[in-house]
Amino acid sequence: MRVRDGRWSPTKGLLAGMAITLAAVAANSYYLTRQFGRLRVLQTDLLDRNRKDSLQLLRIQNNLHSLGLAMRDMLDADDQPYPLAAWSTPLGRIRTDLADALAREDALATASRSPEQRRYLADSLAQFWDATDRMFALARGGQEAEARAQIRLSLQARQAALATAVARLLVENNQNEEATASRVQGIYSQVERQVRIFLAATLAAIAATSFYLIRSNRRLFARLASLSEERREVAQQLITARESTLRHVARELHDEFGQTLTAMGSMLAGAGARVPAGSPLRSELREIAEIAQRMLEQVRALSQALHPSILEAVGLEGTVDWYLSSVERQTGLDISYDRSGPPVTMEVTQSTHVYRILQEALNNVTRHSGATQAWVRLRTGGGALELEVEDHGGGMPAVTAGRGLGLTAMRERAALAGGTIEFSRPRDGGTLVRLRLPHAEEGRGAA
């Protein structure tokens, strides 16, 4: 994208930097979402499930231990005969609890366990209970010795094998849990590493974009400053050319037209003196001479308006006195003038700018404010001059205050004169124009 003068605009580069940053954020967000999804699966589906499975295996192991103790007590009944059939009820409760624990454990078993491993525990336990049923059948048939031999030779071995299988499953679960925890830690480490890389890349993108923005802003501000300086130079040249043109026109009016009208008045007066007193021509010549005199006064007034040559004669303070009285006489505006401080010496060019600012400010009062009274204050002292023009009229609209051609000219004239100008709203409403010129030399008030 180009601006009007053919220079590149920073918008394209900034949009590219923003797109890269947003893409990096989106990619990292997608990556983190997937990684956290994996962590959720590992923690919920594996770790939690593995822990619950281990609890059921511990439950099975506890029941097998209870079976082992019961069979030991059944064998210890040789010295004190106790019917084996009486143990069917406690073993039945253990059998029921084992069946429930086995069913729950099978539902919680991890996918890493093979189908053969799943069936082994159930089949071994079923064979154990079949052998137990045969043992109790022998005991009920009065074959206590054969039943106890069955316990020693078969049931205890099967119980030990079952306990070993459950212990092996518990060890496997512990290993799976450790492996899962290690995988979780690995994912966390990978995510942390990726987050650091992403943050570094994002900070680099932001730094590059910020550097580009700062560099572009510096170039733009430099360009704006250059354009502002060029505009100021053009405005100053226009003001200088305008003053030069007005000065030339004013001198032409004063010298050429003024002298011509003065000569016409003298010739008309001489002609009227040679005409008889009672002649109508004499009165007509007198009227023409009066018209020429009025035209001469208007030409002189116009000459002073175009270029106040009075500045060169009486200086700024005398010109201000003359101009304020002229404005009051011509517009009916009541002007309160306050002059304080010692007289100052100013160059004619600087005095002209001050006079033009005063002229423009009072023109705004008479044309736009609707006020019938204005206050003009001229203060000097401390090597500075301050001019204020205040009214309590309608004030300046916001647009006019910022873009008015007359106000722009006032700003440029203030800059040309080496001072500053402010436009504000006084407490009672209206407009206050304040011009400050530093470094005015105190002395005799001359041009």
pLDDT tens, position by position, 352-410: 888 888 888 988 888 888 888 999 999 988 888 899 999 988 776 544 444 556 788 88
pLDDT at 215 over 70: yes
pLDDT at 97 over 80: yes
The answer to whether 387 and 431 are in contact (CB under 8 A) is: no
Listed residues 198, 214, 230: the one ending a domain: 214
Query: Quick one: how far is CA 421 from the chain centroid?
Result: 33
Going by pLDDT thresholds of 50, 70 and 90, the confidence category of residue 447 is: very low
Going by pLDDT thresholds of 50, 70 and 90, the confidence category of residue 253 is: low
DSSP letter at 397?
-
**Which range marks the domain in which residue 405 is found?**
308-442
Tokens standing for residue 115: 């189908």
Instruction: Tell me whether residue 341 is in a domain.
Output: yes
- pLDDT score at 89: 87
Instruction: Tell me whether residue 246 is in a domain.
Output: no
CA contacts within 13 A on the Cβ side of 209: 18
Q: Is the domain of 44 the same as that of 180? A: yes
Instruction: Tell me whether residue 228 is in a domain.
Output: no
Q: Report pLDDT digits (tens) over 2-34.
A: 444 445 566 776 677 677 777 777 777 777 777
Nearest CA to 270 out of 288, 245, 255 is that of 288
The answer to whether 53 and 106 are in contact (CB under 8 A) is: no
Tokens standing for residue 304: 């002073």
* Structure-model confidence comparison of residues 411 and 266, the more confident one: 411
Once rounded to an integer, what is the mean pLDDT over residues 233-254? 68
Q: Report pLDDT digits (tens) over 263-277.
A: 777 777 777 777 777
- pLDDT score at 433: 93
Tokens standing for residue 316: 């700024």
DSSP letter at 37?
H
* Structure-model confidence comparison of residues 105 and 32, the more confident one: 105
What is the helix (H) or strand (E) element at residue 385, kind and residue range? strand 384-391
Instruction: Tell me whether residue 319 is in a domain.
Output: yes
Instruction: Tell me whether residue 301 is in a domain.
Output: no
At residue 219, what is the residue type?
Answer: R
- pLDDT score at 81: 56
The answer to whether 375 and 338 are in contact (CB under 8 A) is: yes
Once rounded to an integer, what is the mean pLDDT over residues 420-444? 80
Mean pLDDT value across the chain? 78
Instruction: Tell me whether residue 1 is in a domain.
Output: no
Once rounded to an integer, what is the mean pLDDT over residues 157-176? 86
Nearest CA to 41 out of 182, 184, 172 is that of 184
What's the structural domain count of the chain? 2
The answer to whether 181 and 42 are in contact (CB under 8 A) is: no
- pLDDT score at 421: 92
Length of the chain: 447
Q: Which range (17-21, 199-203, 204-208) has the least confidence? A: 17-21
Going by pLDDT thresholds of 50, 70 and 90, the confidence category of residue 139 is: confident
Using a CB cutoff of 8 Å and minimum separation of 24, what contacts does 113-119 make?
113/169, 113/172, 117/169
Q: Is the domain of 336 the same as that of 197? A: no
Q: Report pLDDT digits (tens) over 335-358.
A: 999 998 888 878 878 888 888 888
Range among 180-194, 271-285, 377-391 with highest mean pLDDT value: 377-391
- pLDDT score at 26: 79
pLDDT at 257 over 70: no
Q: Is the domain of 330 the same as that of 190? A: no
Instruction: Tell me whether residue 245 is in a domain.
Output: no
* Rounded distance between C-alpha atoms, residue 213 and residue 355, angstroms: 45
pLDDT at 171 over 80: yes
pLDDT at 150 over 80: yes
Once rounded to an integer, what is the mean pLDDT over residues 34-49? 68
Q: Is the domain of 345 the same as that of 200? A: no
What is the helix (H) or strand (E) element at residue 19, kind and residue range? helix 11-40
Listed residues 199, 214, 229: the one ending a domain: 214
Q: What share of the chain is helix, strand, coil (3-state, %, to 5)?
A: 75, 10, 15
Q: Is the domain of 81 the same as that of 187? A: yes
What is the helix (H) or strand (E) element at residue 422, kind and residue range? strand 420-424
At residue 122, what is the residue type?
Answer: A
At which residue do the structure tokens 């180009």 appear? 2
Instruction: Tell me whether residue 84 is in a domain.
Output: yes
Alpha helix stretches (DSSP H) within 275-419: 280-306, 310-331, 348-364, 398-403, 405-416
Listed residues 181, 198, 214: the one ending a domain: 214
13: CB partners within 8 A, 6+ apart: 209, 212, 216
* Rounded distance between C-alpha atoms, residue 188 and residue 36, angstroms: 9
Once rounded to an integer, what is the mean pLDDT over residues 407-418? 84
Q: Is the domain of 190 the same as that of 45? A: yes
Q: Exposed/middle/buried for 84, CB within 10 Å: 0-12, 13-18, 19+?
A: buried
CATH number of the domain within which 416 lies: 3.30.565.10
Tokens standing for residue 264: 């016409």
Share of residues in the chain with pLDDT > 70 (%)? 80
